[in-house]
Each structure stands twice: as C-alpha cells, then as structure tokens.
Amino acid sequence: MGLYEELKVKIEKAVEEGYAEAVVLSDWMSDHPEVSGSEYETSAKLVEYLRGHGFEVEYPYAGIETAFRGIFGSNNHKHKVAIMAEYDALPGVGHACGHSLSGAMSVLAAVAIKDLQDELNCDIHLIGTPNEENDGAKCGMIDSGVFDEYEEAIMIHLFDKNQLYCKLLGLHQFEYTFHGKPAHGATAPWEGINALNAAQLMFHGIDSLRQHVTPDVRIHGVYRNGGLAPNVVPAEASVEFYTRALEKKYHLGLDEKLDKIAEGACLMTGCTWEKKLTAAMYDNMNNNFVGINAMDEVYKEVGIELNGDPEVIFGSSDAGNVSFVCPTFHPTLQIVDKGIAIHTRDFEAAIRSERGHKSINDGAKIIALHIAKIFSDEEKIAAMKAEFEESIKGL
C-alpha cells in the first residue's frame, strides 16, 4: 500500500468519526443565518469548533472582525495549503447558497487531515473567509498577502450538479457620477448643463458596445440619481454598472471602454465625471488542470458521479481572485435536483435534508483526499505549480 492509499484510509475514518458533529454545526448555522459582513456568532461558533479540536486560532484575522485562521501543530513543514470556509448568508433566504454546508465540510476536512501534516510535509490551514456574497473578504485578504504563502487553496460549493470545476465570471462594480450645472428649466435652461443627459448617453453608448464584445460579457446597470425636480436642470446624476467577463485581461480592457463612453458623454454635454468602486473586484477563475485531473480521481474514489458541464458559466466569486495567487479549486456537489437554482427558497430548503447532510461527508473527504493526493507526490506538486506559473505570465 502506497502513502496516498494509507492516508486515504485514515482520512475516511476521521471524516466518518467527525461527521455527526459537523452536521450539528451546519444545522446551527442554517438556524442562525447571518448576512455578509455580520457573521459574528457564526464565526465565533466555527472558531470554538476548531479550538475544541486542538487548533490555534487567530481571530479576528487580517483586519476583518469575522475572519479567522486555524493552525494545528508546529506549522514548520515544507508545503502549505489553505482550506477556505465560507459562512455568510443571504438576506431573506438564509443559507440558500449552501454556505452552512460548505463551511461545515471545510472545517471537517481540516480536522480530518490535521494529524497527517507530518506525513505530507505540509501545513494545512483553515481560513475563515466571510462576506463572499457582498464585498469579498478574500479580496482584502489577498491585498494583505494572506494567500501568498500557499501552494493550494480549496473549497467546495453546493449546486444542482456535480462538477470538477467552475467557470467563474469576473465581476467589477462601478458607480459613475456626472456633474453639470443647475438652472431653472423654464426661465433659463440654456444656463444649465444637464448631468442626467450624460448619464442617459452613457447607457446608450453601452448599448451600442454590446454587439462588439465577446459572448461571455455581461453588462448591467441602473440609475442611482437622476436629479431632484423636473423644473431644475439636474446638476448631478449617477449610474451604477456591473461588468462581467471570463478573462481578466479582456475584462480590464472592457472597463476602459466604459470609461471612454463616460468621457464621450461628457464631451457631448459639457459635464465632468468621476468613478468609484462600489464593491471589491472579483476575478474570473484561473483553473489549474493538473489539480483538476487529481480532483477527477478523487470524485471517482468517493463515488460521486459527474453530471454537469463545468464549461457553462457558473457566476462570480472572490475565490476567482485567489486563483491568481495560488492554484485554487472550487468544485461543486449536488444537493438538489437539476434545475433548482442556488439563492432560492427551494435550494435553502435542501440545506437540512439528508442529501444536504451527506454532502458534508462527501465534501470533507474530497477536500482532504485532494490535498493528500497532490502533496504525497512531489511530481504532482511541481506540475501543478508549473501550470499555475504559466497561467499568470503577463498579468
């Protein structure tokens, strides 16, 4: 029996032993949903769980009140891996994104593999990453250098299909504010500069751009401020746009095109403009196929049938940002019938189902086995790293 096979037996046994406690933890989170940025009780509960299993936990972490990092043991091995845990809920529909399940499976995986770090020569840290649904705590963590030391980051998302990886769209959110000059609409409109006209022209310019972008691109926007009274020329107007794309370089170029449209709107109206980010910028997912091929082997070993198309666009997540810092894995597990969408009441209803609970067991095994499969093989580590280095050249 080789090293991986020996570790596999230990991991599966440890997951089975910790499964019941992890289910209780997930159910508690589903009963006490806390929306993005407010995960105070939830993060404290997860930290208590980790400390109860011998982890040293830094909490708060990276300047974020509801983030944490759990480390077990000496923390002096050759390699380092981050298991990411998400645990924020959605307004109105609770854990309809499945974060109570995915958070529980991440901590169970960390507990199941903690005693194998010497055999893998690998430190395996559990990082609590809140606020995924809103302003992406992982983005701020990246800015702080949190993920710089890791050779792999991994988590699992719940879905209506089993997939080895996801195609994540980058997501950038900007507010454009146009400044004009007020004037009375009846007595002296010629003295005014209409900021709302500039905002309208920006919408028209973006509509003209749509036929000249790649099919993956999504652009959606709303008016945030259109003036105060009909008989006053609007001195200020603002619009907010989301842009999404599958490739980081292309996405940044797309943002530049929107800026040029704003400039053009100002040239036509005499306005000035300014722009601000309204949330952290999410990157697309930089998938690593050395690691994905290992994930394929793990899914087969756990008995999970693949039944989704990973090339179909999944959505957006701050996990994409991590994938440009180190090889990052974001597979999915099915807990509902195909066609039931995440972020819905029907999806939330599955969180406490038998199928939902089973995903904790399967997911913890997948995470821990993937780490064991890669980090018990120096050739796989080197190949994964080489593919990653090639993928970020020029960025």
Q: Classify residue 35 by its DSSP letter.
A: B
**What mean pLDDT comes out for the span 162-173?**
96
pLDDT digits (tens, 9 = 90+) for 194-221: 999 999 999 999 999 999 999 999 999 9
- What confidence tier does 21 reach under pLDDT thresholds 50, 70, 90? very high
In CATH terms, 3-168+284-391 corresponds, of 3.30.460.80, 3.30.420.40, 3.40.50.10470, 3.40.630.10, to 3.40.630.10
The pTM score is 0.92
Report yes or no: 164 and 299 within 8 Å, Cβ to Cβ.
yes
CA distance 164 to 156: 10
Average the pLDDT over 35-49 and give the result. 97
**How far apart (Å, rounded) are the C-alpha atoms in residues 81 and 6?**
20
**Domain 170-277, CATH number (from 3.10.20.10, 1.25.40.80, 3.40.50.300, 3.30.70.360):** 3.30.70.360
> pLDDT above 70 covers what percent of the chain?
100
Over 90: is that where the pLDDT of 267 sits? Answer: yes
E-state strands within 294-366: 313-315, 328-329, 332-334
Closest CA to 127 of 36, 23, 52, 47: 47
Distance CA 262, CA 278 (A): 17
Q: What pLDDT shows up at residue 315?
A: 87
Specify burial of residue 341 (Cβ count, 10 A radius: 0-12, 13-18, 19+). exposed
- 287 Cβ contact list (under 8 Å, min separation 6): 165, 167, 323
The Cα-based distances of 214 to 122, 159, 246 in angstroms read: 41, 26, 9
Neighbours of 260 (CB within 10 A): 11
Average pLDDT over residues 20-34: 98
Computed over every residue of the chain, the mean pLDDT equals 97
- The answer, yes or no, to whether residue 135 has pLDDT greater than 90, is no
* Separation of alpha carbons 330 and 288, rounded Å: 11
Q: Judge whether residue 134 has pLDDT over 90.
A: no
Look at residue 326 and give its three-state secondary structure.
coil
- Helices 354-375 and 289-302: crossing angle in degrees, nearest 10, is 130
Residue ranges of domains in the chain? 3-168+284-391, 170-277
- Give the tens place of pLDDT for each residue, 69-119: 999 999 999 999 999 999 999 999 999 999 999 999 999 999 999 999 999
Phi-psi region of 187 (alpha: psi -120 to 50; beta: other; left: phi over 0): alpha
d(CA 14, CA 368): 10
**What was the pLDDT predicted at 186?**
95
What's the average model confidence in pLDDT over 127-146? 95
How far is 263 from 234, CA to CA, in rounded Å? 18
Burial of 77 (C-beta count, 10 Å sphere; 0-12/13-18/19+): middle
Mean pLDDT of 115-144: 96
Collapsed DSSP state (helix, strand, coil) of residue 276: strand
Asked whether the predicted pLDDT for residue 336 surpasses 80, the reply is yes
Residues 376-395 pLDDT 10s: 999 999 999 999 999 999 87
Q: Cα–Cα distances in Å, from 149 out to 22, 38, 71, 325, 382?
A: 28, 28, 14, 9, 16
**Opening angle at CA 40, ends 80 and 105, nearest 5:** 45
Mean pLDDT, residues 19-38: 97
The pLDDT value given to residue 274 = 98
Rounded Cα distance between 289 and 384, Å, is 8
The Cα 199–Cα 236 span in angstroms is: 9
Residue 1 has pLDDT above 80, yes or no: no
